[in-house]
Structure 1
Amino acid sequence: MSMSRTEHAQVELKRALGLKGAIALGVGGTIGGGIFVLVGHTTALAGPAALLAFGLAFLASLVIALPYAELACRYPQAGGGYVFVREVLGHKWGFLMGWVFWGAYLFVSGYVTQGFGGYLHMLTGTPPIWGGVGLVLGCVLINIRGVELSGKLQVLVIGLALAGLLGFAVAGAPAVDAAKFSPWMPTGLQGLLAAALIAFLAFGGFDMIAVAGEEIEHPEKNLPLAIFLTLAIVLGVYLLVAYAAVGTLDWRLLGASSAPLSDAAKVFLGPLGGRLVAVIAVLTTAATANAVLVVTSRICFAMARDGLLPYYLARVNPETATPRSAVLVCGGILIAIQLMDSHFSTSIGGFLYVLHFIPPMIVLLKLRQRGGESPLLS
């Protein structure tokens, strides 16, 4: 027996995700596998000034994060940007925003699951495809048990990953050679700005926190705090890791490497360094995959609750307060996308991800025209 629209509008998720869980969701979704390649890409463009590029990218991210945090406080519901647009611009624009937002994370997931499979293969010899499938299935099993369990495991996994990345920085610190930071900006201002544009990708993912807004405790306080702390933590990790990498391996070699952190780790840890970096990569990509499943299933749930997707996707398990149908469907899609070419799927996902920030900015302008104080200042 199907539910009516009125019944669907009354379906709500349980607020069971604390501040730690929200930050873990944001950091896990933001760092992902990007740190293992972006340090090399930015160094290739800007040399040692890659550290400054990450700082500039952080400031640019704040320009987007501030209005996003305000909107998250105004509309602490499942769906994040989709909800902002639907509430202010109407269902037609909400429908388009929902598909863009949902599609962005679904397509980007291929890069994450394939990356996990590749790193796991390096460590255990497991076929990459099966490693990625196993990761998605594991995330599905955890998430259908409830967001509280998912949040606790996310905190644990991302905590271990951050400990590993900080361990990389600490282990590399004694081997840092100040001479490797000279010349500081070998490619000039143009190289720095190009690197900052690439570094901006390092901070993408903080919006995941807003998507789970309906399940975060005390959203008026925890939502903006989690968004800003996520960006601050990510900046700190990137700067420490980049400092250790640039200071131990010539910037030209680092920029030309396909596995920059592994090559840097081998300088101060020997052959074991490459395997340790692979372990950290497995943890970070696992945390990102879990975050992606949470986000995509909540966008799916929110659209179904509004009648924009089949109603059964808005059903919530009464025992776990989890949108089980949405989790299962999104898990299946993540497995299917893993079979696609990662460059193709990531290109689509990246384009949609950049595009999805535009409608919320329009929403904020509309709200400013109507007047009213920002909830961040109240």
Structure 2
Amino acid sequence: MTQKPADHGHLKREIGLFDATALGIGAIIGSGIFIVTGIVAGIAGPAMIVSIIIAGVIAVFSAMSIAELGACLPEEGGTYAYAQKLISPFAGFIAGWIWIFSNVFVGAAVSLGFAHYFVALFPPVPVKVVAVAICLIFLIINYLGLKGSILFNNILVMAKILILLFFVAFGLGFLRPGTFTPFAPEGSMGILSGAALIFFAYTGFARVTIMAEEVKDPEKTVPRSIYLALAISTAVYLLVSLVAVGLAGAPALAHSGSPLADAIGMTGSSGAMMVIALGAMIATASVLLTTIMGISRIVFSMARSNDLPGVFGRIHPRFSTPHYAIAVTGACMVAALLLADLTLVVSVSTFAMLLYYLIANIAALRLPREHRRYHQAVPVVGALSCAGLIVFLSPASWIIGCIGLAIGGAGFILRRKSTS
């Protein structure tokens, strides 16, 4: 006999359009621009600007698919819920599992990113000690309630946007035209490999769909917030990357753990360098905050559907948060950041998120005609472009990603047997 899902309670609708857009920006702008910029500069050279545009265009197609899914099915869990209803329970489970898998690595990456910039200001402190500490702090903030987390995220997002605009305005006066040649030292392969990695910087645009049951008027708010967050973030990425390359050059960025701080350091201003290091910590902190929110909500949603143990679907009676889901999120994230380095966690996370958005596009293809907002070509292009980018990721990310998928598939089979 199949177990009935337990009644774990309901989440409150407290997220408006500004909050939802800030959630998206908070999830997008972080380690992608402050850390991955350096990695991509080493692969694509100054042509990383083209890589950003390619990754942004691919993100737009997937965003359109997810926006129409979010408007049609505004449920907690995002693509997990969409795939479960529109494709199959197994596809839904894999979407949820791969999202958790990816974002555990995202959380590890942004924790390490925060730590690298912190250590740039306070050198004697070990990087991984700082990474674990910031992870635990944001777990506690998430545990204590959504309203406080949303307010804190809004403050962090406004601060990091202002600091990045400062980077652009201050750095423009010190650009060196010679840093843009050779423009594409590795040719088209370098640009496409760079686009595959920089897609990591866009992966948070659908974060609000994970929390759709906590959004006011989700049918309108979810799509609008996705487009606003993606447009604002892309504009910021292009401006910041242009100035960073113009200040330091791609080779210098490639060998830096804190590329934007080193780039602004070329101006000779220690004060500006400190401001950017502070901005990097704020940016990565806000991504970490929304990442923990997102993973815990997916875990909560999967537990509520009996795809994960029911204990993770419980809501704290005082704080109205999925407290057990938040706790397991933190444990997995700390383990990932202790076991892996920054380049590897970025690659593995990008592999998993491209698979996640591939499933989202397939789910959008299965929407009934009356619920479609866009032509069917949109999810087709979105799916093909996500699959295409995966090809340009490293073999190590393929191996770890496939192991993660195999574990998820085995877990689904065992869970179904145990609940039948």
Q: For the Cα contact (< 8 Å) 1:266–1:272, is it kept in 2? A: no
Whether 1:86 and 2:84 are equivalent positions in the alignment is: yes
Counterpart in 1 of 2:118?
Answer: 120
Counterpart in 1 of 2:232?
Answer: 233
Counterpart in 1 of 2:27?
Answer: 29
Change (3 A) 1:194 1:219: same
Change (3 A) 1:256 1:359: same
Q: Which runs of 5+ in 1 are unaligned?
A: none
TM-score w.r.t. length of structure 2: 0.80
* Structure 2 counterpart SS, 1:265: helix
Identity of aligned residues (%): 31
Counterpart in 2 of 1:63?
Answer: 61
Q: Which runs of 5+ in 2 are unaligned?
A: 376-420
Change (3 A) 1:46 1:337: closer
Question: Aligned partners of 1:243, 1:352: CA distance in 2, in Å?
Answer: 28
One-letter identity of the residue aligned with 2:360: P
Question: Aligned partners of 1:25, 1:59: CA distance in 2, in Å?
Answer: 21
Counting matched residue pairs gives 371
Counterpart in 2 of 1:359?
Answer: 359
Question: Aligned partners of 1:59, 1:22: CA distance in 2, in Å?
Answer: 22
Whether 1:102 and 2:100 are equivalent positions in the alignment is: yes
* Structure 1 counterpart SS, 2:266: helix
Deviation of 1:86 (Å): 1.1
Question: Aligned partners of 1:330, 1:191: CA distance in 2, in Å?
Answer: 34
Question: Aligned partners of 2:223, 2:215: CA distance in 1, in Å?
Answer: 11
Question: Aligned partners of 2:329, 2:51: CA distance in 1, in Å?
Answer: 35
Change (3 A) 1:49 1:334: closer
Counterpart in 1 of 2:305?
Answer: 306
Change (3 A) 1:269 1:167: farther
Q: CA RMSD in A?
A: 2.5
Counterpart in 1 of 2:195?
Answer: 196
Please show how residues 1-378 of structure 1 align to structure 2 within 5 Å: 5=4, 7-8=6-7, 11-124=9-122, 125-178=124-177, 180-181=179-180, 188-342=187-341, 344-367=344-367, 370-374=368-372
Q: Comparing 43-52 with 56-65, which one deviates more in the overlay? A: 43-52
One-letter identity of the residue aligned with 1:356: Y
* Structure 2 counterpart SS, 1:57: helix
- 1:179-232 per-residue CA deviation (whole Å, 9 max, x = no partner) reads 544665566555444443433332121121211111111111111111111111
Q: Comparing 199-208 with 300-309, which one deviates more in the overlay? A: 199-208
Q: For the Cα contact (< 8 Å) 2:5–2:306, is it kept in 1? A: no
Q: For the Cα contact (< 8 Å) 1:110–1:340, is it kept in 2? A: no
TM-score w.r.t. length of structure 1: 0.88
Q: For the Cα contact (< 8 Å) 1:73–1:375, is it kept in 2? A: no
